[in-house]
Structure formats: C-alpha cells, structure tokens
Amino acid sequence: MNDRTPLEQRLEQLAHQALRELPPCAAPASLEARVLREIEQRAGQQHLAGIARWPRAARALLIAACALCVPLVWMLAALLREHAAHALAGAGVGHVVRGVRGTSRTIFDLGELAVRLAHAIPSEWLFGSLLIIGATYAMLGALGYLLLYPTLPHSKAHTV
C-alpha cells in the first residue's frame, strides 16, 4: 500500500533526480594519509589500554577499595567458619568431614549439611550475600568490559 499522495511522490522523484545530478564529493587529498597515520597510532597504543589510561584518582580509589576488601573478606570468612563449626556440631554430621564411608551416603550427608547450614544462617545474611555477589559480579563484568574495550567508537568524536 502506498499512503503517499501523487504530489508527495512527484516531490520524491524530483529530489532523487536533483541528488543524482550532483557531482560526487571528493575527499581532501591528505585524508587517506591522516586516516592511515591515526590507525597506526591507535594500533601502537593497544597495550596502553585499560586501567593505565584511567585518571590517577580513579586508580587510587580502585586500589583503596581492593585493599579494604581484604580485611572484610578475612572477617567474613572467620565469621562463616565459626557458624559452620556450630552448625556441624549441632547437626551431628562430623563423620562426613572425618571420613568417607560411601559415595551415595557422602553425597546425601553433604546435601543434609548444606540444608542445615542454610537453615542455620540468618536469611538476611543469605539475601545480603546474594545481593553483594550480584553487585560484585555486575561491577567486575563492567570493569572487564571497560578493560577489554576501553575506547568505544561512539564514545568519542572522530576527528582526524
């Protein structure tokens, strides 16, 4: 179906004809040399991509955040170790840790242990942990993407 009026069709034909009659635009003679020089420069700078090109303040902030994460993970691991010890003692499944009596029984006992540990850990911790893990995964994914693709073609004006 054609929803255009005959006048619109005629205007389109005239515009196409006028555009076809225009001479082709010629690029400046120096354009090719400038483009090739820019390609060579960017190819030589690929090893400089990533975090090395970040501002110093951003790099310092990243290093400080990583340094802060070390003691936090250490404290969280100690706290989880303590809760796991209490859950193991209360569950009476220490034989799983001490020795393996059979594969199927071990798998069953480990599943039972996981269920008991899940019940022993407060739900706020579980949901908070999932939230932290998800946010960390998203941030690391974004950081990895930025490190792999530091300059996107559409993020910068193409001036040569």
What are the structure tokens assigned to 120, written together?
Answer: 């022993």
Instruction: Answer whether 0.75 is exceeded by the pTM.
Output: no
**Contact assessment for residue 131 and residue 123, using Cβ atoms and an 8 Å cutoff:** no
What are the structure tokens assigned to 98, written together?
Answer: 């001490």
pLDDT, one tens digit for every residue, the chain (160 residues): 567 899 999 999 999 999 889 888 887 888 888 988 888 887 766 655 677 777 888 888 888 888 888 888 888 877 777 776 666 666 565 555 554 445 566 677 777 887 887 777 787 887 888 899 999 988 888 888 777 776 655 544 445 4
Domain boundaries, the chain: 52-149
H helices of the chain, in order, are 6-21, 31-44, 56-91, 94-98, 103-120, 123-148
